[in-house]
Amino acid sequence: MPITPDQQAEIDALRANPKPTLRAVAEGMETHLYKAYDVLDHGFIRVIDYMGDDAAICQAARVSYGRGTKSVQNDEGLIRYLMRHWHSTPFEMCEIKLHVKLPVFVARQWIRHRTANVNEYSARYSILDREFYIPAPEDLAAQSVINNQGRGAALAGEEAARVLEYLKGDAARCYDHYAEMISDEGQQGLARELARMNLPANIYTQWYWKVDLHNLFHFLRLRADSHAQYEIRVYAEEICKVVADWVPAAYGAFEDYRMGGATLSGKAIDCVKRLLSGEKVTQETSGMSKGEWREFMGVIG
């Protein structure tokens, strides 16, 4: 189950006991506090805490006191300027703390984003739950023949059924042996820190993940992209919905300049100028490699 009864009771108690505060409050984020949003078959994300809002970004950029005297329109324009010119420090003034439940193999990708604070559920101290990520049949795919780290055509029929049986059976057997090793009847049992090495990478773990908005945007730009692995992309997409309500002006600029924009090299800009002047430009005359040219043509259509 994504949320345990104890966790739900804690959430209900926290939401039923609001407290007054003098700090900046983002009304959009307040609606998300503590709520758990399901991801995959047993995972979730939930906001534990946050700091700052759109105004905090502008306040830091202007180094002013209080909430400032500029209009909302001016604030949005400033935020877009900061995003456009890669002025990252003001965005670092906002932070978010998430509680995430995710498969171990997704966590190993996620942890590559090192500019965050993480505290993970300890399998040295506690016993992991018997919960595994099993893909939906439509999410099973063969290895891509053109991308060494991507998926190709979907599996179907007997092949998909066979793979699902392997995933379910292997996970169950590994967990059975794990449980047996740590609680041998009449014996002390193997240390948890050793028994855990027998667990599969699709077992679920949990962590608290705290990150500033600048580095969160970097995470989302890579992991909410259509080319990202599905199992981490769905977490990023759920976080995007929360961030859009938390800092709408900043998220709008992020969508425009990072998710919807593109960075062009000097050669690419030169080609654009040549094309606009009416010159016929090919990959051979562009000065770009085949890969660069393919990506360039993907940008300009």
Which residues participate in catalysis according to the annotation?
223
| Residue linked to tokens 């942890």 | 111
Angle between helices 290-300 and 266-276 (to 10 degrees): 50
CB atoms closer than 10 angstroms to residue 195: 21
Number of CB atoms found within 10 A of residue 245's CB = 15
Q: What's the first-to-final CA gap in the chain, in angstroms?
A: 45
**Structure letter (DSSP) for residue 262:** -
Phi (first) and psi of residue 22, to 5 degrees? -100, -5
Q: Sheet harboring 36-39: ordered strands across?
A: 36-39, 43-51, 95-103, 204-212, 117-120
